[in-house]
């Protein structure tokens, strides 16, 4: 007898679970939904008596619940603002719940295809944003090394990595950047509507790498100054040598003919002198 009661209870539970599952539906709303290409949801109600009261209860992504004015057994979702939870109600009892789900394309802020950090940088961050999705997405971070055939591996908190996830964004913080952190980082988001990913390459370079061009210019200027200084010094030395040699040559040069004549005239006796 006890066994029969247990079997009956199990059958009832299974039936109730199947019934609850059949009363819940998920529809995916695409990004290009429009009045000309709507998403249709069904109330699950096939017929109503004259005494039945039918309504739609709608809960938006912010959690605000309202009763829709429409009493149609079918609804059309024509824009992304209409995602959320829809419940068809008959005489105050829920008949069916429909989740209108949407998955936005994620993005990593302040990056394009790659971002560069320095070895030894502290608390560098990547922020993955997925706004407008419903229900709220689940975030995952994965890492794949450059030039590696191995699949991307899941990143967990620990070591030099800290992951913080909020409603519409997830932040991975590198508390201390090292060269072995250079890799592709993938942010994956998932909800009832599916999953989507975005990838960025993180490069890690030497902290002084940005100074090398400047130091190269400084070195070139210093070398140029040294060359000019040596050239000027050599030029002055050569000029001094030539100047000294020219003075010596002038001092050793013999008197010319005119000077000889003058000297001879000075030495000749004056015959006109009378005592």
Domain that holds residue 52: 24-102
Q: Residue 153 in contact with residue 143, Cβ under 8 Å? A: yes
114 plus 187 within the same structural domain:
yes
Domains of the chain: total = 2
Distance CA 11, CA 17 (A): 10
The mean-pLDDT minimum among 114-123, 244-253, 263-272 falls in 263-272
Confidence (pLDDT) at 220: 85
The single residue listed with the structure tokens 């005239």 is: 265
In this prediction, residue 270 carries a pLDDT of 55
Are 93 and 119 in a shared domain? no
244 burial level (CB within 10 Å; 0-12, 13-18, 19+): exposed
Q: Are residues 48 and 80 in the same domain?
A: yes
Whether residues 59 and 140 share a domain: the answer is: no
pLDDT confidence of residue 108: 92
Q: What is the pLDDT of residue 14?
A: 35
Report the distance separating Cα 107 and Cα 97, nearest Å: 31
> pTM here?
0.66
- Given 69, 102, 135, the domain boundary residue is 102
- pLDDT per position as a tens digit, 134-148: 999 999 999 999 888
Phi then psi dihedrals of residue 136, to 5 deg? -55, 140
pLDDT in tens, 76-115: 999 999 999 999 999 999 999 999 999 999 999 887 789 9
pLDDT tens figures, 192-220 = 999 999 999 999 998 766 666 777 788 88
**Which pLDDT does position 180 carry in this prediction?**
92
268 located within any domain: no
Q: Say yes or no: 147 and 185 in one domain.
A: yes
Boundary residue ending a domain (102, 134, 169): 102
Please tell me whether residues 142 and 162 are part of one structural domain.
yes
Q: Do 28 and 69 belong together in one domain?
A: yes
pLDDT at 6 over 80: no
Domain boundary among 71, 102, 133: 102
**What does the block give as tokens for 218?**
């400084």
Do both 97 and 118 map to the same domain? Answer: no
Average pLDDT, the chain: 83
pLDDT of residue 224: 86
87/80 Cα distance (integer angstroms): 18
> Residue 136 carries which DSSP code?
P
Q: pLDDT exceeding 90 applies to what percent of the chain?
A: 60
Whether residue 15 is predicted with pLDDT greater than 80 in this model: the reply is no
149, part of any domain: yes
Which of 69, 66, 75 is closest to 96 using CA atoms?
A: 75
Residue 181 lies in a domain: yes
pLDDT at 66 (0 to 100): 96
Residue 270 lies in a domain: no
Burial state string for 181-193 with b = 16 or more CB within 10 A and e = fewer than 16? bbbbbbbbbbbbb
CATH of the domain at 144: 2.60.40.10
Is the residue at 55 inside a domain?
yes
Does 239 reside within a domain? no
Distance (Å, whole) CA 203 – CA 182: 5
Residue 129: per-residue pLDDT: 96
Residue 272 lies in a domain: no
* 185 in the same domain as 131: yes
Residues 19, 93 contacting (CB under 8 angstroms): no
Report which listed range, 12-21, 101-110, 230-239, is most confident.
Answer: 101-110
Residue 274 within any structural domain of the chain: no
């Amino acid at each position: 007898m006890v066994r029969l009661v247990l079997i009956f209870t199990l059958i009832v539970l299974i039936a109730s679970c199947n019934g609850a599952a059949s009363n819940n539906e998920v529809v995916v709303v695409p990004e290009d939904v429009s009045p000309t290409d709507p998403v249709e949801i069904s109330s699950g109600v096939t017929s109503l008596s004259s005494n039945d009261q039918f309504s739609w209860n709608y809960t938006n992504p912010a959690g605000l619940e309202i009763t829709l004015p429409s009493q149609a057994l079918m609804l059309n979702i024509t824009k992304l603002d209409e995602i959320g939870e829809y419940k068809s109600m008959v005489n105050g009892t829920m008949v069916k719940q429909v989740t209108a789900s949407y998955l936005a394309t994620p993005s990593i802020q302040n990056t394009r295809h790659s971002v560069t950090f320095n070895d030894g940088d502290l608390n560098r961050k990547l922020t993955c944003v997925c706004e407008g999705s419903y229900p709220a997405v689940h975030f995952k971070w994965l890492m794949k090394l450059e030039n590696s055939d191995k699949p991307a591996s899941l990143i967990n908190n620990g070591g030099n990595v800290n992951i913080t996830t909020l409603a519409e964004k997830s932040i991975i913080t590198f508390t201390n950047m090292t060269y072995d952190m250079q890799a592709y980082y993938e942010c994956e988001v998932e909800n009832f509507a599916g999953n989507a990913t975005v990838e960025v390459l993180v490069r890690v370079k030497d902290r002084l790498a940005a100074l090398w061009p400047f130091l190269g210019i400084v070195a070139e200027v210093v070398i140029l100054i040294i060359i000019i200084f040596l050239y000027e010094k050599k030029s002055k030395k050569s000029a001094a040598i030539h100047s000294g040699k020219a003075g010596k040559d002038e001092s050793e040069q013999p008197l010319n003919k005119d000077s000889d004549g003058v000297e001879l005239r000075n030495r000749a006796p004056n015959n006109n002198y009378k005592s």
